[in-house]
Chains A and B, each alone.
Chain A
Amino acid sequence: MHSDQEQKLREKIGRMLADGLQTQTEPFPENDTQFGQLLTQLRDIDAKDLKAKLVLSGFTNSPYGEDRMRCQECMYYLVHRKWCDLPELALPVEPDWWCRLWRI
């Protein structure tokens, strides 16, 4: 994906979240078993079904929780590309967003 395409997709996701898309932010996967289950569910989703991906992974367009968790500190976040490198997501994101696949 070219950077301009990524930017368009990033803006599209931003609009969906700003328009009030309800996503499943809870429960946060407390351990790897739960994390793995979530990944399995994500793999079962059609890779082109953006909305389903966002909903299941619990995307928010702002930092989350008391600890203000956000993409910027997440292990899967590529800072310069502004990209989530988790293969099951593989989406352009903003540093202040968050999802429940967050890992540090």
Chain B
Amino acid sequence: MANLLWLQGGACSGNTMSFLNAEEPSACDLVTDFGINILWHPSLGVELGDNLQKLLRDCVSGAIALDIFVFEGTVVNAPNGTGEWNRFAGRPMKQWVKELSAAAGYTVAIGDCATWGGIPATAPNPSDSQGLQFLKRAQGGFLGAGYKSKAGLPVINVPGCPAHPDWISQIVVAVATGRGGDLALDDLQRPKTFFQSFTQTGCTRNMHFAYKVSATEFGQRKGCLFYDLGCRGPMTHSPCNRILWNRQSSKTRAGMPCMGCTEPEFPFFDLAPGTVFKTQTVMGVPKDLPKGVDKKGYIALTGAAKNAAPKWAEEDLFVV
């Protein structure tokens, strides 16, 4: 039996909603099939007031073994570093986070806010928000770069806005069943099993990407969304087109650009007007090119691809 505690900081509850929709395994499977004891969760916990404070204190003291500490949302430091803007169970949430992280076997950050600060930490960051171990791409965050949980791992980052339900539940199962040591993490402490490949990997529009045929309006049944509509699929690490959403689809399959929400810079360009759903260019060339491709190579590739593009690539591919 592994004890799991889930708390929310500066959060919209989006990751909780995502988690409760998990299917493989489901939130119920975690309890019945994998022996995970959910000590408390904002949407599931029954303890209130003094009882909740006692539970949390027992986790901190070790009276209750805290095997997995899951945090959703940012660590709020405002005002003036006190964290008073986000009080929970009698004191600033940041104090609970500090003490619970020190007591936890594994600490898991779920969603962009908990991993890198996400939307709340976007300039001017009025809530003085941080991720658990990063602030955007800078390592450190609230717990500091040197933090390791009792199992010897840094914070396990499962980003996304929200994170896919299966990313959450599968990581939780891995650590609960003693396979936490098998998790390979990338430089941003994301499990490589999910975040080594790109959003573009498995995208049904890859043929249009290859032949440089652009979608010019949302929901079009042809064309790649990278060239004009700001899709970040070729630069974003996520399995969104391998582990589908609702077992059905993904943003790009449905004709909506990937916003790059698993990367620390999300939301990109600080949400400046005109930067969302529009490929940013300098003199007609995209500012952000597919990972590993330089400008010279990109231009050469475009010329060759356009010359080779078959006629069908210009027509609706997904017809009803």
Interface set of A (CB-CB < 8 Å, partner B) = 28-33, 35-36, 69, 72-73, 75-81, 85-87, 102-104
Contacts and interface: CB of A to CB of B under 8 A. Distances in A.
A72 B282 contact: no
Contacts of A80: 309, 311, 314
Interface string B198-218: 000000000000001110110
B274 A36 contact: yes
Contact of A103 (B213, B228, B275, B303): B228
Interface string B215-232: 011000000000110000
B284 A69 contact: yes
B299 interface: yes
Given A31-B282, A77-B306, A103-B284, A87 B228 contact: no
Given A30-B283, A35-B281, A103-B284, A86 B302 contact: no
Interface residues of B, number: 27
B245 interface: no
Nearest to A95: B306
Judged by DSSP, the binding face of A is loop
Interface of B: 212-214, 216-217, 227-228, 274-275, 278-286, 298-299, 302-303, 306-307, 309, 311, 314
A54 to B, nearest CB: 19
Given A76-B216, A103-B227, 16 more contacts: A28-B283, A30-B283, A72-B306, A73-B299, A73-B302, A73-B303, A76-B228, A77-B306, A78-B314, A79-B306, A80-B314, A87-B216, A103-B279, A103-B281, A104-B298, A104-B299
Most chain A CB within 10 A, of B274, B278, B281, B284, is at B284
